[in-house]
Amino acid sequence: MSPIFELKNVTKQFGNFQSLTDINLQIYPGERVALVGSSGAGKSTLISLLNGTLQPTQGEVWVLSRNMRRLRPKQLRQVQRQIGTIYQQFHLVNDLQVIHNVNAGHLGRWSFFKAAVSLLYPLEVETAAKALVQVGILEKLYERTDRLSGGQQQRVAIARVLVQDPAAILADEPISNLDPERSREIMNLLCQLSLETGKTLITSIHAFEYARRHFQRIIGLQQGRILFDAPTEEVSSAMVNELYNINPHTK
Ligand SMILES: Nc1ncnc2c1ncn2[C@@H]1O[C@H](COP(=O)(O)OP(=O)(O)OP(=O)(O)O)[C@@H](O)[C@H]1O
Ligand SMILES: [Mg+2]
């Protein structure tokens, strides 16, 4: 089986600042991987490289066996359609009904005309409704999005990705705006969807305990480098302490 994502000697620089240094990794279809590390470690930068929002300064990013740098814009969009991303801030249009935000998952496929018509007369209500059933908030289909709670808005963002039906779901801190109970629910939901659909799931998370509880594999980033990349059961508390620079003698 070939990897769905592969980074070869990847370095990412912003001006003089090196955000990622010499990253090598392979992620295979169906894997559930957590990216952990302190603020500024490079988690969001890595996610942006995986979905083609950013290009590396050096090295190669391969997605679905395509070298992202070699793609023409149209080919890049085709690959990007296969990668769904969920963000901390949900990235929803607040004053639209939920159904329109969910239908935005079609945008990579729909013509401009179809998208415009759908704003007046929602198309593919059934697909949107099915996705909302999967995330547990069907009753919100015609609600204005900004009337929903944070946890519900994150469910709308997940429903949009389900409509997009990508091969992989990337989530950049999907729970950092949510309370602990909502965080657990959203992580359970994402992992359950990944298990049911076989979609690869890569999530950056601040709180290490969520990574340990929900993921099979954990990649620890420290100042732009991979400190460890291991199956969850092999990640020791010493490794976690080193990652967050916690010295047991000074505690
Ligand atoms: N567009 C940019 N321009 C300049 N520097 C950037 C840019 N994006 C990221 N950086 C820098 O790269 C480093 C890594 O940032 P990144 O956002 O990837 O970290 P992170 O691990 O996601 O942090 P957090 O947990 O706070 O979200 C930071 O020092 C940041 O300031
Ligand atoms: Mg980040």
Q: Give the whole-angstrom CA distance, residue 221 versus residue 44.
A: 11
Tokens 């480098």, residue located: 225
Q: What is the Rg, in whole angstroms, of the alpha carbon atoms belonging to the chain?
A: 19
Q: What three-state secondary structure class fits 85? A: strand
Best CA proximity match to 204, nearest among 34, 32, 20: 34
Distance 225 CA to ligand 1 centre (A): 13
* pLDDT of amino acid 120: 64
Put the strands of the sheet holding 17-27 in their side by side order.
Answer: 17-27, 5-14, 58-63, 66-67
Ligand nearest to the CA of 19: 1
Nearest ligand 1 atom to the CA of 17 is 5
- Among 11, 16, 19, say which to mutate for ligand 1: greatest number of ligand atoms within 8 Å of CB: 19
Give the predicted TM-score (pTM) of the model.
0.92
pLDDT at 144: 95
Ligand (nearest to CA of 37)? 1
Q: What DSSP state is assigned to residue 97?
A: B
Question: CA–CA separation, 135 vs 94, rounded Å?
Answer: 19
Of 11, 18, 44, 204, the one to substitute when testing ligand 1's pocket (max ligand atoms within 8 A of C-beta) is: 44
The predicted structure's pLDDT at residue 1: 85
Q: What is the Å distance from ligand 1's center to 39 Cα? A: 8
Atom of ligand 1 nearest to the CA of 46: 18
pLDDT for 251 equals 43
What whole-number distance in Å separates Cα of residue 115 and Cα of residue 93? 14
Per-residue pLDDT of the chain (251 residues; tens, 9 = 90+): 899 999 999 999 999 999 999 999 999 999 999 999 999 999 999 999 999 999 999 999 999 999 999 999 999 999 999 999 998 888 888 889 999 999 888 877 777 667 766 776 676 788 999 999 999 999 999 999 999 999 999 999 999 999 999 999 999 999 988 888 889 999 999 999 999 999 999 999 988 999 999 999 999 999 999 999 999 999 999 999 999 986 555 54
Give the Å distances, CA to CA, from 232 to 65, 189, 206, 243: 26, 19, 16, 14
Please choose, from the candidates 89, 95, 122, 87, the residue with its C-alpha nearest in 3D space to the C-alpha of residue 106.
122
Q: How many CB atoms lie within 10 A of CB 198?
A: 9
- Beta strands of 89-163 (E only): which ranges? none
Ligand 1 atom at minimal distance to the Cα of residue 35: 21
Side chain identity, residue 13: Q
CA distance 222 to 148: 36
Q: What are the tokens at 16?
A: 């003089």
